[in-house]
Amino acid sequence: MKKWIFGAGIALAIAIAMISTVFAGVGSTIPVNGKHYNLNIIGAKNVGDVGASDGHTMFVKLNGKTQIIMTQDPLGEFKVTDRNGLDGKAAFNIAPGHYNVYAVALGKPNGKVHIDAYGNFSDAVDGTKLILLGYVDISRSAGKPVSMNINNLFYVDVTLCTAVDSYGSCTQQVQYQDYWVFDIAELLEYYWDYDNNGLKLLQVRFYGCTLDPTGTASDYCRWGDGSPIDSKKTLITV
């Protein structure tokens, strides 16, 4: 089952650089070690010429909402494709695969952000269906920054209609449980509503992981408490 996680410790800048380092802890903190990508989201009042992103940073509103559109191109790479979110929208592509995703608020204390993750899906009854998939509240408190697992924004529960009868009533549903959102065939769009309240730097870290429900793989996909993610898909006739 999904573990909803709230906590402290994320900052606002989207830098994506592949680095290999060693960290302590598991679960709600970051993995013991491994290569990862950093996505740094920077809260700003204004910027001049933001320049080419080179897959490193994006700017969002220091106070207010920014929509961050995320994609996963099967042939793509980690890359910020629109880094100027001060106009209300920014965009980012995730490399193929599955990931444990962690976030940490950096910089001076104070500032917080509320993130709602939304998915827009095709649905045989509704045509398209917009679903709130998960959310987190993150603040920068005094003291050492603390990383948190935000996999609940990416491994989601969704029920969709895939077939209807002549009256338009649903005859078949597909249920996804704890499913990597970009593996859902009916996904049309995935994005964050990033509601910032003074948070200047949010670092999001992507570690490649294996969907191993036994939790024996060294890089298994996990919830914040360290338990393995067991993605499931079920077809139901109704």
pLDDT tens for each residue of 121-153: 999 999 999 999 999 999 888 778 788 999 999
- Which of helix, strand or coil describes residue 151? helix
What count of other Cβ atoms lies within 10 Å of the Cβ of residue 139? 19
Give the 3-state secondary structure of residue 28. Answer: coil
Residue given tokens 């994320």 in the structure block = 10
Q: Which residues pair with 191 in a beta bridge?
A: 69, 118
The residue among 65, 109, 71, 100 whose CA lies nearest residue 85 is 65
- Mean pLDDT estimate for the chain: 85
Residue with the larger pLDDT of the pair 35 and 97: 97
How far is 106 from 148, CA to CA, in rounded Å?
12
Residue 222, judged by CB atoms within 10 A of its CB (0-12, 13-18, 19+), counts as: buried
- Whether residue 41 contacts residue 24, with contact meaning beta carbons closer than 8 Å, is answered with no
Distance (Å, rounded) from C-alpha 238 to C-alpha 233? 16
User: Structure tokens of 206?
Assistant: 């992507």
Q: Is 213 exposed, middle or buried (0-12, 13-18, 19+ CB in 10 A)?
A: middle
Q: 159 pLDDT exceeds 80?
A: yes
Of the pLDDT bands very low, low, confident and very high (cuts 50, 70, 90), residue 195 is very high
Residue 120 has pLDDT above 50, yes or no: yes
Q: What's the rounded Cα separation, in Å, for the pair 3 and 225?
A: 8
Q: Tell me the residue type at 14.
A: I
For the stretch 20-64, pLDDT in tens is 233 333 345 555 556 889 999 999 988 776 666 566 799 999 999
SS3 content of the chain, % helix, strand, coil (to 5): 5, 55, 40
Q: Quote the DSSP letter at residue 85.
A: G
